[in-house]
Amino acid sequence: MSRFRKKRGKSSPAIQTASLPDIIFMLLFFFMVVTVLRDAEIIVQVTTPEATELTSLERKSLVNYIYIGRPVQRYQHIYGTSPRIQLGDAIREPHDIRFFIEEHRLRVPENQIPAITTSLRVDGQVTMGIVTDVKTELRKVEQYKVNYSARPRID
């Protein structure tokens, strides 16, 4: 009894840990709100068409994305309303695709370069003119493996 009292007197009491989970959850929510996924910075609106003959892309590191669509409302005062090309997180012109592909090739082991796939995420309402320009550029840089991104059709 006397021993117990002595300890309590000499050392500080145990740290209250009951509120620790709350702090952790606060951190968690902070990160959840603040984290911006690189892929999700969408400047152009893309609603991919529906299709049935789908293949799924497996190696994410071997896939690069080209978005084609009309700029979303927020960016329309900068980029206008006609369909544009988005590479990474910026609006680019067709001739920039060359650098975009070359840059991706540098990040991939040499023997896997032929397996690089370009995923075209194109809005269904875009006309083929801009899509053809992109395809032509891809053919010129010998990036032949292309995936027309589409959603599975639910009948």
Partner 1 sequence: MARKSSRDRMTNEINAGAMADIAFLLLIFFLVTTTIVEDRGILVRLPPWSDEEPDITQLNERNVFSILVNAQNQLLVRGEPARVPDLRDRAKEFIMNPMDDPTLSESPQRAIISLRNDRGTNYETYLEIYNEIMGAYNELRDEFSLQRFGSTYDNLDLEQRRVVREEIPMIISEAEPTEFGEEG
Q: Where on the chain is the footprint of partner 1 (CB under 8 A)?
A: 7, 10-11, 14-15, 17, 20-21, 24, 27-28, 31-32, 35, 37, 39, 48-49, 51-57, 63, 68, 82, 117, 119-120, 122-129, 131-132, 135-136, 138-140, 142-152
Least distance from partner 1 to the Cβ atom of residue 91, Å: 18
Q: Which is nearer to partner 1, 43 or 121 (CB)?
A: 121
Dihedral sign, Cα of residue 38, residue 41, residue 44, residue 49 = positive
**To the nearest whole angstrom, how small is the minimum distance from the Cβ of residue 86 to partner 1?**
15
Distance in Å from the first CA to the final CA of the chain: 77
Cα–Cα–Cα angle for 125, 128, 132, nearest 5°?
140
Q: Find the shortest distance in angstroms from Cβ 139 to partner 1.
A: 4
The DSSP code for 84 is E
Q: In 113-139, which positions are buried (b, 16+ CB within 10 angstroms) versus exposed (e)?
A: eeebbbbbbbbeebeeebbebbbebbe
Least distance to partner 1, CB of residue 103, Å = 20
Question: Residue 38, CB half-sphere, CA atoms under 13 Å: how many?
Answer: 4
Task: For partner 1, give the closer residue by CB, 111 or 127.
Answer: 127
